[in-house]
Amino acid sequence: MTLSGLLSQVLEVVLALSAAPLLTGWINMCRAWLQSRRAPSIWQPYRTLHKLFNKESVVAVHASPIFRGAPYVVWACMTLAAAIVPTLSTDLPLSPAADAIALVGLFALARAALSLAAVDVGTAFGTLGARREMLVGFLAEPALLMVLFSASLITHSTLLTRIVSTLSHEQLAIYPSLAFAGIAFTMVSLAENARLPVDNPATHLELTMIHEALILEYSGRHLALMEWAASLKLFTYSCIGLALFVPWGIAEAGNPGALLFAIPALFIKLLVGGAVLAAIEAVNAKMRIFRVPEFLATAFLLAVIGMLVHFLLGA
């Protein structure tokens, strides 16, 4: 482990923890502007976290340690996932210990902990949200794996740092396989992060929401960790998309000076990506829950088509 690698790893984790709520605030601002509404402050997610961390947590009498420990497990999984995705540099000491398959496993572990905690209390809405969350995960995780495999077929590796290093040195060209994988990844990202048209992050209607139904029983610091973890998941998915489809600007191993240019490049790409996500949400309405399997099955088929295109065309 080199000093520059340790610096890149620490800087990446600190940036993810600090900038994830900022990305959420930026998306909320852009969506409000596009809907001709008065936009909330971009710092509102930080204020919400500060308020929740200073409130007392109210826990149900019959809640087990699963309910109390789930927020810490979910937050830790999202932090570790953000640590192994190359956002600033490919010189990451944690990268060899976890490849793309392990990354999907971290998302699955967080989903399992969150769903178990929702069922643990025994409320109707918590159980409803857990069932819907497991349905989405059951369909979204294979599609995400196919997207990652499409990129690994081009680079002959499932290590995210290797994928980024290889794709960033390729000529600027459109790979047909990555084009299909990019559409599939966008659809999976919308579903996994409870965004429109799969879920509405601003809804308070219990019969239609998915993510909010899972955390209805949380309050105080537990709810703050859940909200922070949700922002970290959105940040991590955004960085995965940037690493796979816009890898330019990420510093290479052995070049710590490039980190000075990688940080502003990352923020510019996140600003553009957040605005695009807000535009997608502004022009879409929430679909019915029974249409979600069709939506995610389409994403899976597009990812598989991308792999087939690679085998047929070699690109």
> What residue spans define the domains of the chain?
3-138+156-169+206-282
User: Can you tell me the distance from the alpha carbon of 75 to that of 77, in angstroms, rounded to the nearest whole number?
Assistant: 6
Q: How far from 51 is each of 56, 119, 229, CA to CA, in Å?
A: 10, 26, 16
Phi/psi class of residue 170: alpha, beta or left (left: φ > 0; alpha: ψ in -120 to 50)? beta
Q: Is the peptide bond before 197 cis (omega within 30 degrees of 0)?
A: yes
pLDDT at 300 over 90: yes
Which has more confidence, 208 or 221? 221
pLDDT at 21: 97
Please report which helix (H) or strand (E) contains residue 109, including its range. helix 100-121
Nearest one of 229, 222, 223 to 68, comparing CA atoms: 222
Place of tokens 């149900």: 60
pLDDT at 1: 62
pLDDT at 17 over 80: yes
User: Can you tell me the distance from the alpha carbon of 238 to that of 74, in angstroms, rounded to the nearest whole number?
Assistant: 18
Nearest one of 57, 73, 58, 64 to 120, comparing CA atoms: 64
List pLDDT tens digits, range 242-278.
999 998 888 886 676 778 889 999 999 999 999 999 9
Phi/psi class of residue 235: alpha, beta or left (left: φ > 0; alpha: ψ in -120 to 50)? alpha
Nearest one of 251, 264, 266, 254 to 4, comparing CA atoms: 254
pLDDT at 14: 95
Residues 37-62, mean pLDDT to the nearest whole number: 93
pLDDT at 173: 63
- pTM to 2 decimal places: 0.94
Mean pLDDT comparison of 21-25, 156-160, 248-252, 259-263, highest-scoring range: 21-25
Q: What percent of the chain has pLDDT over 70?
A: 95
pLDDT at 172: 62
- Confidence band for 90, pLDDT divided at 50, 70 and 90: confident
pLDDT at 205: 65
Lowest mean pLDDT among 70-79, 90-99, 124-133: 90-99
pLDDT at 204: 64
Which has more confidence, 118 or 257? 118
- Cα atoms in the 13 Å half-sphere on the side-chain side of 184: 31
pLDDT at 315: 62
List pLDDT tens digits, range 175-199.
788 899 999 999 999 999 989 889 8
Residues 1-6, mean pLDDT to the nearest whole number: 75
Residues 164-177, mean pLDDT to the nearest whole number: 78
